[in-house]
Amino acid sequence: MLTIVSESHRDMKSIRPKSEDELESILKSAYDYARSENYEKAIELCDWLMQDSSTEIAGRRERAAVRSRMGDIDGAIIDLKYVIKTDGLEPADFYTLGILLLRNGSTIDAIEQFGDAVKTGDAAKNHYYKNSSLLFRAEAKLRVCDFEGALKDVSGLPDGYNTYFSGTGMRSKEDIAGEAKTAIERKARSKFQFKK
């Protein structure tokens, strides 16, 4: 297996990955650099991968992860949008972009990306991305007061289904459904009172 950790940028040009295992080794090296907060080296590896058409998407996808870890959410969003435009087949890309957009306050755009993650996850029979995207999309819909849409999104999820939301902690199907129902009831009461 290829190890690239100690190689200089110039030496890397002659040892392009020739297999999936070698590519995974390089991506793991970039991940390890990012984990140890050596972001410069992590980005350098990703940029190097992006110089070759056969590894460009993998490099850009990893660079998005590194940028996200660095707190460069805008940069991560740009990289993932490029990945999706070029190779929009992975539900994980739509899902991750949705999470980044939600964190960045672009709730409507996040809803759209979670919708694409649901479609691609369903087509790939990947229940994790489909279900998690439905839960995240329901949360996003709550934020824009689409309470009926949020309730519809969580209605198809298994009971007790939950996931971690940055800034708020664990959220479940039941949490979101309860908030949506309460908001719908409150809205109905205020309409009734307004008509009097």
Residues 91-105: tens digit of each pLDDT: 999 999 999 999 999
| pLDDT recorded at residue 10 | 45
pLDDT higher than threshold 50 for residue 76:
yes
- Which amino acid is present at 121? G
- Please compute the mean of the pLDDT values over residues 50-76 and round it to a whole number: 96
pTM comes to 0.86
pLDDT level of residue 8 (50, 70, 90 thresholds): very low
Q: Average the pLDDT over 46-67 and give the result.
A: 96
Q: Read off the pLDDT of residues 145-187 as tens digits, 9 standing for 90 and up.
A: 999 999 999 999 999 999 999 888 999 999 999 999 999 999 8
Of 5-9, 11-15, 127-131, where does mean pLDDT reach its minimum? 5-9
